[in-house]
Chains A and B, each alone.
Chain A
């Protein structure tokens, strides 16, 4: 049982990494960041919706050189 649980944990960990790598979790990271940095201040920027954030995030990914030969 413990071995199985450990394996399951490993698989979940790998899945977590794949989500990070692909940017699948970008919105969650942003929400965490927003909560950590902007919660207390009065003039905090409003929390974007998933759709709004994704637009913003995707466009910002393609501003510079990000693909090579």
Chain B
């Protein structure tokens, strides 16, 4: 009886899921309720988690709940600690969910809501969540080794080196693009700038409180900090109304970029307790709180999605970034569908806390589903805007013109209704002077969130909600920026330490200064170019980031596939093999187009040559001609960077295929490095308390 009831329940879930997906896919009306998105996501996740993930855990990986995990065997009371599964889930989710799943879907909404939504759902359940779960499993069986170490041990030194270099590259490009997103949100916005600036002293105050005033009282310090952050949002509105004060925070993009570069260097050099750790606490609290609030607001309000299912920009002529639906939607949305970066958290960090292998499905697969859900909510928040408004906020001045009238005329010519007065009114409601050309996703997402929150919890505070959303995004973008710069610094110190051991000492000041300076210079360069680029920079940097991130995902899937085959599980190795083939197809064809396309909005070389021709012919306006040589150099550099990334990827793939060849031709292989079985001594109740 019970069994039949369960069966019927799952049939109902399947039916609802199918109905929701068809409603989303087939809708050609004016608008569609966001509840269909929520329903489709919930049903697909539930089915995938209950059946696919459970099958992988039980039959492919054969997780063993009686086996002691590294957290138990190597328990040191500090970083290896067997921890309650919900707490590990929270840590893991907070670590993997950054600004990526918010920005990618917003940018990809230029194709319409449908392609991005389907990729987020399918990519997560078949790709991203599988990658996270198997990487977590393999690292747990290998004393919580990092992805790079596993690649070296299981595939070979080339794979290990490629993983290391790939991580470093992603870090540089990611930080640059995130910096650009913050700059675009802050330029000529005294409210946003003063609020974001206030997060720095607030974080330092919290850091001081936890370190010296009340050591280790993380919770009360964080609550104090969150209260101050909310005060800073309101205070920013006050500053915006003071003619004297507001001009201190009213800046051009370029000066803000320099400020962020200087800040990034300072944050990498000062001790973690002062800035990085407390900022991270604040951003985690704000992040979890806002995501929950957004979910509640969407369910209460059930907003209508106004973006069409598909726009004409699937042909590659989109204003936010150039390139056709295939492959660029799959590059634009990395986090939220599949993100290679997660494999760095799933190996090395999370396994040190995992008390029982039986929890791997919930933590590895489940947390990724939640992140995918965040991406769906970002897609909803971006597409509840009228398409005309969405494009007015996100189209760079280089595409639609820098005058409001020109931009509106251009957007109207695409068939999206919007007026100058409508945009001005919206800017006034949000407490901004203008919302045009705020490329990058943060402001349009903030407008979307503000309208959802405003409608659900009171309309009078739109401007406060908008700046709260900007603060929310800025605070964890800056956390990623701080943490990424520091990780980049450690990696560089590690590499240089091989040449000159003294450089490898993480506390030797000259080495700290030099390596921090190099890392900041690396991302600072791309940020600078992005800011001076009239096309907004995001159109160049985001695809580059997507390619780099998917490349890391492909490396993680290579390692996983290699281990599966070496363990004699060739027949089921498709669980990682299929997503790997898909990612190879996507990244290679995207890279190919970025290098060889004749379309100047897609191909790096084409853009460089076009600009060089125009410069030589003297047809560029004076201010464009001044920056043209830098842009030409940058486009060429980006092209070579793409070549490098794709070659790196194929080297790892070939290395992995060589391992498979040796396996099937029965030649000697590097042995599996799995730690032998030891029974767990942890009683279920002991940990679960």
Contact = CB atoms under 8 A, between A and B. Distances in A.
A58 B207 CA distance: 11
Contacts of A23: 218
Nearest to A19: B219
Nearest to B170: A69
Interface in A32-56: 32-34, 37, 50-51, 53-56
A66 B487 CA distance: 9
Interface residues on B, range: 35 or more
A62 B78 contact: no
A4 interface: no
B251 interface: no
A20 B83 contact: yes
A58 B483 contact: no
B87 A17 contact: yes
Given A54-B210, A65-B349, A66-B95, A60 B79 contact: yes
B81 A65 contact: no
A59 B96 CA distance: 20
Interface in A3-33: 17-24, 26-27, 29-30, 32-33
Contact of B483 (A26, A30, A53, A66): A66
Q: Which of B84, B87, B334, B480 has the most CB of A within 10 A?
A: B87
Contacts of B95: 66-68
B568 interface: no
Contacts of A2: none
B97 A17 contact: no
A68 B277 contact: no
A19 B90 CA distance: 12
Interface string B224-247: 000000000000000000000000
Contacts of B218: 22-24, 26
A45 to B, nearest CB: 10
Contact of A68 (B211, B222, B341): B341
A65 B345 contact: yes
B276 interface: yes
Contacts of B533: none
Contacts of B272: 58-59, 62
Contacts of A68: 95-98, 100, 335, 339, 341-342, 344-345, 480
Nearest to B210: A54
B216 interface: yes
A59 B272 CA distance: 7
A18 B87 CA distance: 8
A51 B211 CA distance: 7
B138 interface: no
Interface residues of A, number: 35
B449 to A, nearest CB: 20
Nearest to B486: A62
Contacts of B276: 62
Nearest to B175: A69
B345 A66 contact: yes
Contacts of A17: 84, 86-87
B273 interface: yes
A65 B92 CA distance: 12
B77 A18 contact: no
B253 interface: no
Interface in B49-106: 75-79, 81, 83-84, 86-87, 90-91, 95-100
Q: Which of A37, A64, A65 has the most CB of B within 10 A?
A: A65
Contacts of A32: 77
B215 interface: yes
A59 B672 CA distance: 33
A44 B255 CA distance: 55
A17 B345 CA distance: 22
Contacts of A57: 78, 216
B359 interface: no
B84 to A, nearest CB: 6
Nearest to A26: B216
B280 A56 contact: no
Q: Which of A30, A33, A60, A62 has the most CB of B within 10 A?
A: A62
Nearest to B174: A69
B339 A51 contact: no
B428 interface: no
B17 interface: no
A65 B348 contact: yes
Interface of B: 75-79, 81, 83-84, 86-87, 90-91, 95-100, 146, 167, 170, 174, 178, 210-212, 215-219, 222, 272-273, 276-277, 280-281, 334-335, 339, 341-342, 344-345, 348-349, 479-480, 483-484, 486-487, 490, 545, 549
26 contacts: A22-B219, A22-B222, A26-B218, A29-B77, A29-B81, A30-B77, A33-B77, A33-B81, A37-B75, A55-B211, A55-B273, A57-B216, A58-B273, A59-B272, A60-B79, A61-B277, A62-B277, A65-B167, A67-B98, A67-B280, A67-B480, A68-B95, A69-B98, A69-B99, A69-B545, A69-B549
Interface of A: 17-24, 26-27, 29-30, 32-34, 37, 50-51, 53-69
Report, nearest first, the 5 A-B pairs whose CB atoms are least far apart.
A33-B77, A69-B100, A67-B483, A51-B215, A54-B216
